[in-house]
Amino acid sequence: GGRLVEKRQAKFLEHKLKCTKARNEYLLSLASVNAAVSNYYLHDVMDLMDCCDTGFHVALAQLLRSYVAAESRAQVSHMQGLGSLEEAVEALDPSGDKVKVLEVHAVAFCPPQRFDYHPHEGDEVAEIRLEMELRDEILPRAQNIQSRLDRQTIETEEVSKTLKATLQVLLEAVAAEDGDALDSLQASPSTESLKSTSSDVGARQAGRRRGQQQETETFYITKLQEYLSGRSVLAKLQAKHEKLQEAIQRGDKDEQDVSWAQYTQRKQQKSRRPRPSSQYNQKLFGGDMEKFIQSSGQPVPLVVESCVRFINLNGLQHEGIFRVSGAQPRVSEIRDAFERGEDPLVEGCTPHDLDAVAGVLKLYFRSLDPPLFPPDLFGELLASAELEAVAERVEHVGRLLTQLPAPALVVLRYLFTFLNHLAQYSDENMMDPYNLAVCFGPTLLPVPAGQDPVALQGRVNQLVQTLIVQPSRVFPPVAVLPGPTYEKCMAPPSSSCLGDAQLEGLAGENEPELEAGTMAQEDDLEGVMEAVACFAYTGRTAQELSFQRGDVLRLHERASG
């Protein structure tokens, strides 16, 4: 047992010695590796870096110095440019720039030559003549233009003030938006920080501000259009007023030989004419116009012709004609007189009845049964009104109207030519083609039952406006469609405006008055007819009679048919 213990003790010591030797070698190797790694990272790496970047810092320093020098020169140049821009901003002159533009483009902006007066067939009179017969028309017109001129001046001044205030608000809004951007740039050292300062709240505020600015711009443009239109109307009214005032002050030298007593006597002689009357077989208001025309022999019904003539003589300049309603009792009175076959507008009506006369005309067309425009053409007419091209729209509407009966076309041509003439005085009566279309749209083209009037009325008005603006292109000419046409310059109604049958009736009715007036001239005046001259005439020989417009003439016999 002792030897076994000794043997095992010796083996243990041997193995312990081997382990100690191996441990020592391991520790030495570990220390050596750690020293080599530490030496690499602490010394070798630095030496390798020094080797790789040899001259780098010198080149970088030279580059940065060059960059700083270039930036300094650019900064100096930039500041000089900013200074020049600041001087240019201070020197901005809107009025001066406009003057320079007008000077550079003088040919384009130079006012054109004035329209000269072109005499027709030797008529060399180039000034407004104030004949005695026209005083009752020209004097009230001059007063109406003066009143309209005063109101238009006030309206234009108010619009001008609103326009200036709106422009100031718009400029302040633009300046505030640019000022916010400038403040952001000044407060932010870089674009990255500027981006970081933006937020959803700021974006919403900017969007709201842009929306308000767009509303202000739209309002400004609307007011600018209103101001330019008003100033144009003001210029036209002023020109008309000056011409009329010159004519009133100058007077008409050609009429000095005619005294006011003679003129008054002629007017009284005219006013003694009885109203023409006739009996109709067809109902006038609320009836069939085509049947009425066939039975009465009137290509244009008397109510239309008489109302149009009355408005032509007294109401082309009447403000709000066809828009302002007339007194209903007066409208009914005039309507009943026309229904009886009389013409109440020959006498007994004054310019104060203009709105009532206009109401009668609209009432006549509104009450026609069937209406002038057949319901089966309603859809096609509205579809043609939606065409964008004016020429195509006019052609399509004209082609559709050829389907109407000839008598209806004659009346429509007469009516819309009159409305076109009336719209030419819109600077005085404030009734342009659109306003007239709004008044006559529901009257002439009622929306058929079962369709939405609110949705279709705009298209109806657009169609009627096309007919008012383009009557000569929409309706056939007289060569194609014979019949009465509207004349712009009309004379007051006289015996020459009546038919032969009515003239004979008037002569027969006047015979008792002549017998009661002068019994001594009974034999001389038998069969004599009185007439009023619509035009002046100068006899070419001593045997020919010379007379002035408005003179009362006695017709002894008819020379020819």
CATH of the domain at 156: 1.10.287
| CB neighbourhood size of 469 (10 A) | 20
Q: Which SS3 state, helix, strand or coil, does residue 15 take?
A: helix
| CB neighbourhood size of 486 (10 A) | 20
Q: How far apart are CA 409 and CA 397, in angstroms?
A: 13
Question: Domain end: 474, 500, 516, which one?
Answer: 474
Q: How far apart are CA 328 and CA 154, in angstroms?
A: 33
Residues of the chain below pLDDT 50 = 254, 257, 260, 270-277, 495-525
Work out whether the CA dihedral 389, 390, 396, 400 comes out positive or negative. Answer: positive
Distance of CA 221 to the CA centre of its chain: 13
Same domain, 14 and 76: no
Look at residue 267 and tell me if it is in a domain: no
Question: Domain end: 408, 443, 474, which one?
Answer: 474
Same domain, 385 and 296: yes
Q: How far apart are CA 504 and CA 238, in angstroms?
A: 48
Write the DSSP assignment of 165-192 as a string of letters. Answer: HHHHHHHHHHHHHHHHHHHHHHH-SSHH
Q: How far is CA 279 from CA 157, 340, 465, in A?
A: 56, 7, 36
Same domain, 438 and 360: yes
Same domain, 47 and 69: no
Of 400, 314, 319, 322, which Cα lies nearest the Cα of 364?
322
What is the domain extent for residue 142? 130-176+207-255
Same domain, 135 and 8: no
Same domain, 315 and 354: yes
Same domain, 234 and 333: no
* Ramachandran sector of residue 18 (left: φ over 0; alpha: ψ -120 to 50; beta: rest): alpha
Residue 275: the pLDDT is: 45
Look at residue 261 and tell me if it is in a domain: no
Residue 503: the pLDDT is: 40
Look at residue 109 and tell me if it is in a domain: no
Look at residue 223 and tell me if it is in a domain: yes
Q: How many CA atoms lie within 13 A of 553 on its CB side?
A: 20
Element spanning 262, H or E:
helix 260-271
Cα distance from N-terminal residue to C-terminal residue, the chain: 182
Same domain, 450 and 334: yes
Cβ-based burial of 132 (10 A; exposed 0-12, middle 13-18, buried ≥19): buried
Q: Is the peptide bond before 476 cis (omega within 30 degrees of 0)?
A: no
Of 561, 299, 520, 326, which Cα lies nearest the Cα of 406?
299
Instruction: Yes or no: say if 533 and 508 are a contact pair by the CB < 8 Å rule.
Output: no
Same domain, 230 and 294: no
Q: Tell me: the pLDDT tens digits for 277-312? A: 455 667 888 888 988 888 888 899 999 999 999 999
Same domain, 49 and 85: no
Look at residue 117 and tell me if it is in a domain: no
Question: Domain end: 474, 493, 516, which one?
Answer: 474
Residue 505: the pLDDT is: 40
Q: Which two tokens stand for residue 297?
A: 């022999």
Same domain, 338 and 364: yes
Residue 106: the pLDDT is: 86
The CATH number of residue 311's host domain is: 1.10.555.10
Q: Which two tokens stand for residue 361?
A: 């005309």
Look at residue 312 and tell me if it is in a domain: yes
Look at residue 263 and tell me if it is in a domain: no
Look at residue 249 and tell me if it is in a domain: yes
Q: Which residues make Cβ contacts (< 8 Å) with residue 379, sequence separation at least 6?
A: none
Same domain, 434 and 319: yes
| CB neighbourhood size of 188 (10 A) | 14
Q: How far apart are CA 36 and CA 32, in angstroms?
A: 6
Q: How far apart are CA 513 and CA 508, in angstroms?
A: 10
Q: What is the number of structural domains in the chain?
A: 4
Type of residue found at 331: V
Q: How far is CA 504 from CA 274, 313, 529, in A?
A: 13, 27, 8
Write down the pTM of the prediction. 0.62
